[in-house]
Amino acid sequence: MEIENPTAQGHRTPPHHPIFGVHVDKGSIRHVIEIVFSDYEIRSIHELPSGESYNNRIYFIDLRQTQPYEIELNLVLKVNGRFFGADKIQNEVGGLLLLEATCPSIPAPRIRAWSEDGRLAWVPHGGRPGTLEKHIVNAGKTPGWILMTRVPGERLEQLHGTLGEADLRLVGTQVAEIVAGWRRGITPQRYCGNLRFSETLKSDDTVDLAGKGACPDLAIRGVLGDDIKTSQPIDSVLSYYKIGLEHRLCELQSQDVYAPNRAITPMVEAFINETLPHLALVRSSSDAEPFVFTHYDLSPRNVLVTGSPPVVSGVVDFEFSGFFPTLDEFVNDYVDNGGDWPAAAYKAYLDRLRELGVSTPASGVDERTWNQAVSLGKLKDNVAPWWLPGPYKGEELLAKLRQAEEVVGDMISKLKATMSLEASMSDVFAVPTKTSLN
C-alpha cells in the first residue's frame, strides 16, 4: 500500500486554517476500509495537499478487488476540521442520503460510512441506507469523518481558463439542470436550516424527511455555517434573518478580535427591531413560506467536469447544504463566492433555470427584493466577520475591521433607503378610499 503525505513534503497548512494539525494515521484508515470493504485491498492512500481544501482534511483512497473478478473502487475520506463537530457530519450525511433517496440520477458522492467522533462508525448494511451497523474503529482522538465514493472529473475552477465560451455555457446549462432536479425532487419544507438526526435531538417537533428510505430520520435545526444551534426550528424568513443577525451580535460582544467594532451594536440592534420586520423581502414571505433544498456553496471548485465537450460529472461538498429561502443560493454566489463563476457559465446557468421554471435574480425576482437579500447577506457577514483575524495582525487587522464597520453602516443605510422608497411608492399608488372620493 502506498501512502503519500504532502504535508510532510513541505505543503504546510496555515495555522488559522481549520485543518491545521488535523490528520488521520494510516492504521486508522486501514481499519475503516477493512470494516467497510473487507474483500478489497488498498492500493494507495493520497492526502490532498494543504491549500486545496480548507474545512476538511481529504484523503483519496484507491481499492481493488480481484475475486471473483477485478474491480477498482475510488473513495474519499473527508475528515472534519478542528472547528467542526458532529452536526457537520450529520448535515452532509443527511443531505447526501436525501439526494440518493429522492434524486438518484443527480451525480453526487454516495455515503459508505461515517463517524461523528472518530471512534464509533456507522455503515449502511449491504449498501442499503435504511439499515445501519455500528463499529468501534478507533479509541483515539481522530475527528469525525465521512467515507464516500469519489466522483470522477476535475474541478471547474481548475479548468475554466482553458474552456471556450461555448463550453462554459454548456457547463452552466448542465449545472442548472442539476439544481432544478433537486428543487423538483426534494419537497420544500416549512422549517429553515441544516439537517440533524432526529434521534439526536429527541424532540417531538422534528421533521421526517426520510420518506423514500434515507436513514436516519432527519430534522431541520440550526444554521451550521453560522454555528447557530436552536432549541426550536426556524419557521419564518423573518426569524431566519433575525436569529442570524442576533448571533453575529453575540459573536461581536464575546470575541476579543471584534472589540474595536463593538460601537456598531446599537445601530444593528435598532435595525433588527425597527427596520428588518418591515422590509419587502420579509413582508412578502408568509410564516408558512416553504424553504428549498440548497447546496449553499455552489462554486466552480465544487463542480466536477469530464470530457470534451465538457460534461458535469458531479457536484460535491454538501457540508453546508440544507433548506433555506429561495434566494439564498444566489445570494451566496454573489456575496461569498463573488467572481468565482465565469460570466458565460453563470449567465447560461440563470437562463436555463428560468426555462425550467426556477426564479432567479435575472428572472422572476423583483430587483428591490434581490437588492435587499444581497444587502442583508453583506450586513450579517460584516457584523462579526468569520474570516478575521485569519492571517491578519496589528494595523492590517484593524484596517479590515474598519472596512467591515463601514460595510455594516452602508448596508443598513441602503436597506433603510429601500424602505423609504417603498413608503413613498405606497403613498403614490394608494388605493382611494370612499372618504378621499367625497
pLDDT tens for each residue of 330-387: 999 999 888 899 999 999 999 999 999 999 999 988 899 999 999 999 999 999 999 9
Pairing between strand 56-65 and 132-136? unpaired
Amino acid in position 388: L
pTM, entire model? 0.89
Instruction: Provide the pLDDT for residue 419.
Output: 79
The C-alpha atoms of residue 161 and residue 156 are separated, in whole angstroms, by 9
Sequence-ordered list of residues with C-beta below 8 angstroms from that of 106, at least 6 positions apart, any chain: 99, 178, 181, 182, 185, 315
Report residue 3 as a C-alpha cell.
Answer: 501512502
Q: Under 8 Å CB-to-CB from 84, ≥6 apart: which residues? A: 18, 55, 143, 144
DSSP annotation string for 317-341: --TT-EEE-TTHHHHHHHHTSTT-S
Whole-number Å distance between alpha carbons of 306 and 170: 12
Provide the 3-class DSSP secondary structure of residue 433: coil
Average pLDDT for residues 220-242, to the nearest whole number?
92
Q: Is 5 left (phi over 0), alpha (psi -120 to 50) or beta?
A: beta
Residues near 304 by beta carbon (within 8 Å), at least 6 away in sequence: 107, 151, 152, 153, 154, 155, 156, 312, 313, 314, 315, 316
Q: Cα–Cα distances in Å, from 290 out to 53, 186, 303?
A: 33, 12, 27
Name the band, by pLDDT with cuts 50, 70 and 90, for residue 143.
confident
Are 97 and 131 a contacting pair, CB within 8 Å? no
List residues bridging with 56 in a β-sheet: 80
Q: Is 432 helix (H, G, I), strand (E, B) or coil?
A: coil
* 3-state percent breakdown (helix, strand, coil) of the chain, nearest 5: 45, 20, 35
Longest alpha-carbon distance in the chain? 92
Q: Is 84 helix (H, G, I), strand (E, B) or coil?
A: coil
**In the predicted structure, residue 428 carries a pLDDT above the cut 70:** no
Closest CA to 341 of 372, 300, 401, 391: 300
Tell me: pLDDT of 202 over 90: no
pLDDT band at 238 (very low <50, low <70, confident <90, very high): very high
Residue 269 has pLDDT above 70, yes or no: yes
Alpha carbon 275 to chain centroid, angstroms: 28
Which pLDDT value is given to residue 142? 75
Task: Note the pLDDT of residue 286.
Answer: 56
Question: In sequence order, what are the residues at sequence separation of 6 or more whose Cβ sits closer than 8 angstroms to the Cβ of residue 408?
Answer: 264, 267, 268, 379, 382, 383
Q: What is the pLDDT of residues 317-342, one digit of tens each?
A: 999 999 999 999 999 999 988 889 99
Indicate the burial class of 29 (C-beta count within 10 angstroms; 0-12, 13-18, 19 or more).
buried
> 265-300: b or e for each residue (b if 16 or more CB lie within 10 Å)?
eeebeebeeeebeebbbbeebeeebebbbbbbbbbb
Tell me the pLDDT band of 393, cut-offs 50, 70 and 90: very high
Q: How many CB atoms lie within 10 A of CB 304?
A: 22
Of these ranges, 27-36, 209-218, 257-266, the one predicted with the greatest mean pLDDT is: 257-266
Q: Please compute the mean of the pLDDT values over residues 192-221 and round it to a whole number.
A: 71
Residue 285: predicted pLDDT? 62
pLDDT band at 10 (very low <50, low <70, confident <90, very high): very low
pLDDT in tens, 106-135: 999 999 999 998 888 888 765 555 567 888
Q: What is the pLDDT of residue 125?
A: 64
CA separation for the pair 127, 109 (Å, rounded): 13
* Phi and psi torsions of 262, nearest 5°: -65, -15
Neighbours of 319 (CB within 10 A): 25
Q: For residue 316, what pLDDT band results from cuts at 50, 70 and 90?
A: very high
Q: Write down the pLDDT at residue 1.
A: 32
Under DSSP, the state recorded for 302 is G
pLDDT at res. 43: 94
In tens, the pLDDT along 88-99 reads: 999 999 999 999
Cell of residue 66, nine digits: 480481484
* Residue 148 confidence class, pLDDT cut points 50, 70, 90: very high
Q: What is the pLDDT of residue 217?
A: 78
